[in-house]
Structure 1
């Protein structure tokens, strides 16, 4: 594939979508430790279930506006009236169940934050704050275990495949393809694990 800037990117990137390209180049696989961003990506990945990431990213700004900047405290307080407003918003994915799940997951997110001090602490404890470098998968032992724990806590739409995509989005897993110009850059970071790590919260 020929790219205008001469850089080679992962095959899943649409070269005609600048928004998608920027996401790949500037966000995908970058470490996230800020809870607000972790919540935003969790909600977007849940809405992506059964759809494409590109579809969701194209509506990202509309989602941010509709969901109060992904302020999870505000989302926790959403009422049925607010959900009706969201379901009438043509700029976002108007799936009734996913909208209700966003509120449910926000409340569980808040409980996890209270338990661990931050959601970031909860998430990164699964790999002892190390980044896992791997390619060619759609799920893993790690995403299986985190998914199981999230579901046990009451989250919805967080199956292993959705969870694996989420871990990519927030940098827990680094998966740029071997010929991508960003391949192996994660391995330059001190916290990257290129060998198997033991998964689980102690």
Structure 2
């Protein structure tokens, strides 16, 4: 059972951010299922690749270079990515227009294959993501980790959030809070921890009627070093 009512968490976050209006202005709004289904699959590959490159690097540097990535990798067209031979990937990984990192570049064809395979069963990768139930969002995280490349940890969830899929994030502040109240008592990414976290967020969602992303943000704003 969740040990603190969401109304208490919200009140604490609002107090730390200067009031309810200020807090509400900081919260994200997820896309609807229909809006998500309108996203072309190449945009998912682009987003996953950007997040992979941002892992361990300056996010700003990667963003500034991103137009070059789009050009070098043909707009992340899924079919083109799947047709490129290994030698061509190795050449592109040395292109000075992008951030040269062979290991991260080689995630592109593998994640293109994941997106392509999902589209065969769901009309599009976007459709699969859009229809994935909120009460099993950690199941979607596990899918990305198992079928994709370098999409474990927070890389997959952050990409989902950026693209508009409703998901919570196990940021440092959120994880710390969940440990403090006993929801997580072992490894963060174990099945037991993820199931307990999913249950807690589902209960908070039922109580508040809010999307998972907002619950996650409010928890983060309720503690840590992010006061107004």
TM-score, normalized by length of structure 1? 0.61
Contiguous gaps of at least 5 residues in structure 1: 1-8, 11-27, 129-140, 176-192, 198-202
The equivalent position to 2:160 in structure 1, one of 144, 164, 167, is: 167
Kindly tell me: are residues 107 and 94 of structure 1, through their superposed partners in 2, closer, same or farther at Cα, counting changes over 3 Å?
same
Residue number among 38, 47, 52 corresponding to 2:53 in the alignment: 47
Q: Does 1:146 align with 2:140?
A: yes
Q: Which runs of 5+ in 2 are unaligned?
A: 1-24, 169-208, 214-228
How many residues in Structure 1 have an aligned counterpart in Structure 2? 143
Residue 29 of structure 1 contacts residue 169 of structure 1 at CA under 8 Å; is this kept in 2? no
The one of 124, 131, 138 equivalent to 1:125 is 131
Which is further off, 97-106 or 30-39?
Answer: 30-39
Match of 2:116 in 1: 110
- Give 1:46 deviation, angstroms: 1.9
1: CA distance, partners of 2:149 / 2:211: 31
Q: Which 4+ residue blocks in structure 1 deviate beyond 4 angstroms? A: 28-32
Change beyond 3 A, Cα 1:196–1:101: closer
Structure 2 counterparts to residues 54-93 of structure 1, below 5 A: 54-93=60-99
| TM-score, scaled to structure 2 | 0.54
**Compared CA separation, residues 195 and 75, structure 1 to 2 (3 A):** closer
Where do residues 178-189 of structure 1 align in structure 2 (5 Å cutoff)? none
Relative to structure 1, is the Cα distance of residues 195 and 102 closer, same or farther in structure 2, using a 3 angstrom cutoff? Answer: closer
Q: Give the direction of change, closer, same or farther, for the CA distance of 1:125–1:62 in structure 2 (3 Å limit).
A: same
Partner of 2:103: 97
User: 1:126/1:159 Cα in 2 relative to 1: closer, same or farther (>3 Å)?
Assistant: same
Provide, for residues 138-187 of structure 1, a one-character-per-residue CA deviation record: whole Å limited to 9, x for no partner: xxx73x4322112333x111013001210121011489xxxxxxxxxxxx
In the other structure, the counterpart of 2:149 is 156
| Inter-partner Cα distance in structure 2 for 1:58 and 1:95 | 16
Choose 86-95 or 110-119, whichever is displaced more. Answer: 86-95
3-state SS of paired residue (1:152): helix
With 51-60 and 102-111 compared, the bigger mean Cα shift is at 51-60
Question: What are the superposed Cα offsets for residues 42-92 of structure 1, whole Å, 9 maximum, x if unpaired?
Answer: 221122222233222111110001101110111112212211221221121
- The structure with the greater share of residues assigned to helix is 2
